[in-house]
Amino acid sequence: MTHPLTPGVAAGRLTTEEIEANFADLHPPLDQHEAHVAADRCYFCHDAPCITACPTDIDIPLFIRQISTGQPEAAARTILEQNILGGMCARVCPTETLCEQACVREMAEGKPVEIGRLQRFATDAMMTRQGHPFVRAAATGKHVAVVGAGPAGLACAHRLAMKGHKVTIYEAKEKPGGLNEYGLAAYKTTDDFAAREVDWLLGIGGIEIAYGRMLGGDLSLDALREGHDAVFLGIGLGAVNALEMPGDAEAANAVDFIAALRQAGDLRALPVGRNVVVIGGGMTAVDAAVQARLLGAENVTLAYRRDRDRMGASKFEQDLAASKGVRIISNVMPVALEDGTMVLEYTADVDGRLQGTGERIELPADQVLRAIGQMLVPLGDLGLERGKIAVAGAGRSGIAGVWAGGDCTPGEDLTVVAVAEGRDAAEDIHAALMQA
């Protein structure tokens, strides 16, 4: 079955068995014996550098010791007290550049303690038990609006609910989870884990989600401020940067490609090109490129404008892409997309500025995916910093009673960072409401 507009884009390139094998769990869970062996490698450092490297400040040596002594649920509580989305972060967090890179074992032996997989072992154990590990405080009578049910919004909402506040999350899409649900590679979050984790999180109570509600659409910031005691914005980045070249309209957004894949009931029915070119160098670019190969694309090229060591994707992600057959070309920029041909020009760094060299290459491309970053949809009176919502302290915006966090604010666009910012904003909101 071919795509009606692009004959080279077709569905059903692989069998069901091949698709299932290709999209199996990237890091299968540890069993109990494997977890104990992995935990025994930890030195339980007193001044553990892994804690400093964790954006959510999880006491990593403590939870690993709890695993080693046969207390996985206690370990999970240690994790979840700091990172309520610890299960997803265990699956998708770039631990190789955060906690595991800082591990003493990594520095001494080149092989860190498998912190991410141990975190998954503990949080999975917690999610299989009945009930929720945290209990709500007495109702405060305060009502907080959270805009966006992504990692920042969910983390903020859970912490506020735990403090006894009523929370309404306003979500534009039909499902909660944000990028966890729509924007991550399917092989990183198998078995509908994103949805299951949200259901588990909502077990705290006191949180209502209103779907199909969009800020700037049927919601205004002024109305939210008038109808609630505080507002948290975890709206992410809703617009995608353009390539600004002839033929850009023929290129698709990698974000949309990944979202369609994540929501597809049958991956064999998802069309993919025979020759796919992905423009970009971040995690989204790698996720799109790898998944295009896993769907059956014969040739996938990831084109990035600078050196490979400048790519936003970690070395692990780059190596993963190469292992799946993705060709990575660095120091090239897109010039035009013409008649199924992607034209790229080699670049050079001249006095700190990127310039074209005039030398070009052409690649066959029946499907081009752009993954060159997203940007904030303008929101009126909110002050901006580097194109995002400017915040001070624990997420306070320039408007009284409005906080923000996650990808819509300056900082790293990582799930674990968004969780930390949502959690910290909730603590600040709680303190402000209790003083009012």
Quickly count: other Cβ atoms within 10 Å of residue 263's Cβ. Answer: 13
Determine the angle formed by the axes of helices 60-68 and 32-39, rounding to 10 degrees.
130
pLDDT over 80 at 7, yes or no: no
Average pLDDT over residues 36-55: 96
Of all residues in the chain, what percent are helix, strand and coil, respectively (each to 5)?
40, 20, 40
pLDDT tens, residue by residue, 123-142: 999 998 878 999 999 999 99
pLDDT tier for residue 295 given thresholds of 50, 70 and 90 = very high
Average pLDDT over residues 170-191: 97
Question: Cα–Cα distances in Å, from 339 out to 17, 342, 367?
Answer: 34, 9, 11
Please work out, in degrees rounded to the nearest 5, the angle formed at the alpha carbon of residue 407 by the alpha carbons of 193 and 146.
75
List, in sequence order, every residue forming a beta bridge with 231; answer none if it has no partner.
145, 402
Distance CA 398, CA 381 (A): 9
Handedness of CA 180, 186, 189, 191 (dihedral sign): positive
Least confident range from 38-52, 173-187, 278-292, 371-385: namely 371-385
Q: Which domains does the chain have, with CATH numbers?
A: 32-127 (1.10.1060.10), 143-238+376-435 (3.50.50.60), 240-373 (3.50.50.60)
pLDDT of the residue at 5: 43
Which residues, other chains included, contact 50 with Cβ-Cβ below 8 Å and sequence gap of 6+?
60, 61, 99, 100, 102, 103, 113, 115
pLDDT tens, residue by residue, 83-104: 999 999 999 999 999 999 999 9
The candidate with the shortest Cα–Cα distance to 426, out of 91, 142, 209, is 142
pLDDT tier for residue 2 given thresholds of 50, 70 and 90 = very low
Handedness of CA 337, 341, 342, 346 (dihedral sign): negative
- DSSP per-residue letters across 20-46: HHHTS-SSPPP-HHHHHHHHTT----T
pLDDT tier for residue 381 given thresholds of 50, 70 and 90 = confident
pLDDT over 60 at 219, yes or no: yes
pLDDT of the residue at 151: 98
Average pLDDT over residues 307-324: 96
pLDDT tier for residue 378 given thresholds of 50, 70 and 90 = confident
Which residues, other chains included, contact 284 with Cβ-Cβ below 8 Å and sequence gap of 6+?
183, 254, 255, 258, 371
Question: Cα–Cα distances in Å, from 383 out to 232, 276, 391, 404, 426?
Answer: 15, 39, 8, 11, 21
**pTM, to two decimals:** 0.95
pLDDT tier for residue 314 given thresholds of 50, 70 and 90 = very high
pLDDT over 80 at 218, yes or no: yes
pLDDT of the residue at 239: 83
Least confident range from 22-31, 136-145, 233-242, 388-397: namely 233-242
pLDDT of the residue at 352: 84
pLDDT of the residue at 1: 42
Bigger pLDDT: 157 or 383? 157
pLDDT tens, residue by residue, 250-271: 999 999 999 999 999 999 999 9
Distance spanning both ends of the chain, measured CA to CA? 62
pLDDT over 60 at 4, yes or no: no
CB 169 within 8 A of CB 71: no
- DSSP per-residue letters across 121-143: HHHHHHHTSSS-S--PPPP-S-E
Distance CA 280, CA 329 (A): 10
% of residues, the chain, pLDDT over 70? 98
Average pLDDT over residues 107-121: 96
